Amino acid sequence: MSPMVFYTSITLIVGTMMRPILIYGTWKGWIYEITEPMAIIKLIEKCYLARHEENLVEEEEAYRMLQEIVRSPELLKAICGSSLKGITSPELDKMSPEDIDKLDRLRKLEAKGFDVEQL
């Protein structure tokens, strides 16, 4: 047995063991970090069910939609929502300055310990 064969076999064995660990962790991290992942999860389920039913046209369509969403961050953020909270939230962009001031006052009261849920 030459050293080249020995090191090649070690590399293949370690690579075979590490690949599933890294692939599963990447998928899990991506889904957990999305703000509202249910739309993506339902699309993955649609792709899986279409494959199970052997409906190749629907499976291809669902897969291409999923591929398009994953490849464009703007579309992913539009579907799943923003993770920004507080003053940098994109939801505040459409509000009037008076409403933003009201929310800021409520946030300050909540920070002081007041129950502002009913307000």
User: What is the residue-wise DSSP string for 42-110?
Assistant: HHHHHHHHHHHTT-HHHHHHHHHHHHHHHH-HHHHHHHH-----GGG-GGGGGS-HHHHHHHHHHHHHH
For the purposes of burial, counting CB atoms within 10 Å of the CB of 62, is it exposed (0-12), middle (13-18) or buried (19 or more)?
buried
Residues 31, 41: contact at Cβ < 8 Å? yes
Per-residue pLDDT reduced to its tens digit, 52-89:
999 999 999 999 999 998 888 888 888 887 777 666 67
| Of residues 42, 31, 21, the one with CA closest to residue 70 | 31
Residue given tokens 């889904």 in the structure block: 31
Per-residue pLDDT reduced to its tens digit, 3-41:
899 999 989 999 888 888 777 766 676 777 788 888 888
Tokens coding 15 = 């690579």
Supply the pTM of this predicted model: 0.54
- Strand (E) or helix (H) holding 14: helix 3-33
Domain chopping of the chain, boundaries? 3-82, 84-119
Greater pLDDT, 73 or 51: 51
- Predicted confidence at residue 87, as pLDDT, reads 67
